[in-house]
């Protein structure tokens, strides 16, 4: 059975590249902000590029915050990518600050990369801090592609992976059915495709409340 995954459209992000990568691994992907379509999906991807305060404005305007929370409570797997990862957290210091969705504990703060150019753009090895179905078959130290100026500070129990740019930063997190990665799997060659395929497998097998 192929997973049906909804890519949430709130007007910020290159949604087509994520859709194409999912289709490449055999996933039925649909870009949508329609509640009925999102509720019919086996999993939800929250993408995004840009600033978290503006993204949260758009998400609230479209009523998507409540929809994401409802899907989380139903047990539907959710994957945040890049800005989407940051949105899963409680708050950010970016542009004067903003609340996030609060599905993961902790703030999002500027990268501590003294002497280095920010944003951090390029490939960096990711070290896994624990096992997860999301990272099955992807060795610790595998490079992924990044474009970001901020990173979350999750609790130790939610931390899934980290990378280094000036200092070590969290770049992957997981709590129950909520996952997030700071890097772009859709731009990270075979390793990124494997991660998306793993997420699709999680979606197919997830017990979802009616």
Considering 19, 82, 120, 171, which one is annotated as catalytic? 82
For the question of residue 171 being annotated catalytic, the response is no
**Angle (CA) 144 127 149, round 5°:** 55
Please name each of the domains of the chain with its CATH number: 4-205 (3.40.50.880)
| pLDDT tens for each residue of 156-205 | 999 999 999 999 999 999 999 999 999 999 999 999 999 999 999 999 99
Which residues contact residue 176 at a Cβ distance below 8 angstroms, ignoring those fewer than 6 apart?
none
| pLDDT tens for each residue of 43-100 | 999 999 899 999 999 999 999 999 999 999 999 999 999 999 999 999 999 999 999 9
Considering 94, 120, 186, 203, which one is annotated as catalytic? 186
For the question of residue 73 being annotated catalytic, the response is no
Name the DSSP letter for residue 18. Answer: H
């Amino acid at each position: 059975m192929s997973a049906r995954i909804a890519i949430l459209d709130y007007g910020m992000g290159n949604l087509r590249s994520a859709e194409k990568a999912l289709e490449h691994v055999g996933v039925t992907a649909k870009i949508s902000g329609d509640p009925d379509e999102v509720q019919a999906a086996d999993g939800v991807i929250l993408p995004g590029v840009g600033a978290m305060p503006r993204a949260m404005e758009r998400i609230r305007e479209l009523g998507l915050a409540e929809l994401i929370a409802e899907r989380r409570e139903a047990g539907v797997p959710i994957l945040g990518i890049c800005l989407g990862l940051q949105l899963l957290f409680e708050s950010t210091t970016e542009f004067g600050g903003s609340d996030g969705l609060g599905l993961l504990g902790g703030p999002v703060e500027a990268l501590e990369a003294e002497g280095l150019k920010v944003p951090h753009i390029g490939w960096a090895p990711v070290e896994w801090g624990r096992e997860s179905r999301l990272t099955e078959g992807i060795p610790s130290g595998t490079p992924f592609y990044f474009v970001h100026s901020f990173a979350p500070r999750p609790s130790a129990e939610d931390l899934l992976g980290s990378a280094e740019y000036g200092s070590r930063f969290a770049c992957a997190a997981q709590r129950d059915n909520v996952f997030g990665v700071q890097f772009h799997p859709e731009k990270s060659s075979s390793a990124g495709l494997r991660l998306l395929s793993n997420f699709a497998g999680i979606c197919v097998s997830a017990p979802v409340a009616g």
